[in-house]
Amino acid sequence: RTVYVNGSYLPEEDAKVSVFDRGFLFADGVYEVSTVLEGRLIDNQAHLVRLQRSLDELQMTSPVSMDDIVTIQNELIKQNGLKEGGLYLQITRGAADRDFAFPKDATPSLVMFTQEKNLLNSPAAERGLSVISVPDIRWQRRDIKTVGLLAPALAKQAAVVAGADDAWMYEDGFVTEGSSNNAYIISKEGKIITRHLGNEILHGITRRAVLSLANEADMEVEERPFTLDEVRNAAEAFVTSATTFVTPVVSFDGEKIGDGKPGALTKRLRQLYIEQALNS
């Protein structure tokens, strides 16, 4: 695999970053994962807008322009012959002698790599996910997409150990989001409920697209926090993320959601999202 690191396209074993990189020492960096379908980036502009926002919030700058980032993304897709999968992009504040305050003269570092993966043909989406609940122990700026991902890694690992597929994090009795996705329930009345935007969750690019599709399809949407009890009593549940689109959740803390099968509205939303992505 060819990866991109600070101006060079290199075989992955030759790509290097400094041990003094602040991404490595402080998780002082931001990232994006865009989806590639049929060799094309999906909703990439929205990912770059969020990237710029993450950078701004951390008073960080990209080493290259957003236009150049697109050029590099497409070159990497081409060099790797990537048809379907993800494109990971990370910007860190760069290498400097270890000190908490921002260095005055560090050059930000940009790294990108591709991950080939079957996304459209997903056994997990056919089957539906089993999810457990875990306390949300993350920091208070989850709207910034930083590489500080230890809390969601612990959440996902807890799920794996429990024999589940994923974890939904909760705070004060309300679900915030999934370990690496936004979380939704559909009430017995057919209302799609997902937490409102704020500092408590990542503003998912897929979330925005899916809510807009739901509105167009005259499905009712309510953006508000929902409780763990509401999940247990929901008719359907699902998650969204760039690389998993809309994926049904069929069990929660070992109990079935609805009839324990992927729900009809969830399946429809997945189909609507994929159609739009392929036609974009």
Identity at 10, one-letter amino acid code? L
Are 235 and 242 within 8 A, CB to CB? no
* Minimum gap (Å) between residue 273 Cβ and ligand PMP: 10
Q: Least distance in Å: CB of 239 to ligand PMP? A: 8
83: annotated active-site residue: no
> What tokens does 77 get?
């897709």
Instruction: Measure the CA–CA gap between 50 and 48, rounded to whole angstroms.
Output: 5
| Rounded Cα gap, residues 208 and 246, in angstroms | 12
From the CB of 175, what's the least distance to ligand PMP, in Å? Answer: 12
Question: Which residue bears the tokens 């990866």?
Answer: 3
Q: Least distance (Å) from ligand PMP to the CB of residue 53?
A: 12
B/e letters for 153-180, b = 16+ CB within 10 Å, e = fewer, are eebbeebeeeebbbbbbbeeeebbbbbb
Contact between 73 and ligand PMP (CB under 6 A)?
no
Dist. CA 40–CA 82, nearest whole Å: 9
Contacts with ligand PMP in 173-232 (CB under 6 A)?
A: 177, 180-182, 202, 204-207
Q: Least distance to ligand PMP from the beta carbon of 243, Å?
A: 7
**Cα–Cα dist 243/167, whole Å:** 17
Of the two residues 96 and 213, which places its CB atom closer to ligand PMP in the complex?
213
Residues 27-46 that bind ligand PMP (CB under 6 A): 33
Q: Per this entry, what is the length of the chain?
A: 280
> 84-143: which residues touch ligand PMP (CB under 6 A)?
none
The answer to whether 204 and 240 have CB atoms below 8 angstroms apart is yes
Residue type for position 14: D
Site stretch for ligand PMP (CB under 6 A), options 7-15, 64-72, 98-106, 234-242? 234-242
Report the residue number, 2 or 136, with the smaller CB distance to ligand PMP: 136
Active-site choice (16, 78, 83, 145):
145
Give the interface with ligand PMP as residue ranges (CB under 6 A): 33, 177, 180-182, 202, 204-207, 240-242
What positions carry a catalytic annotation? 145
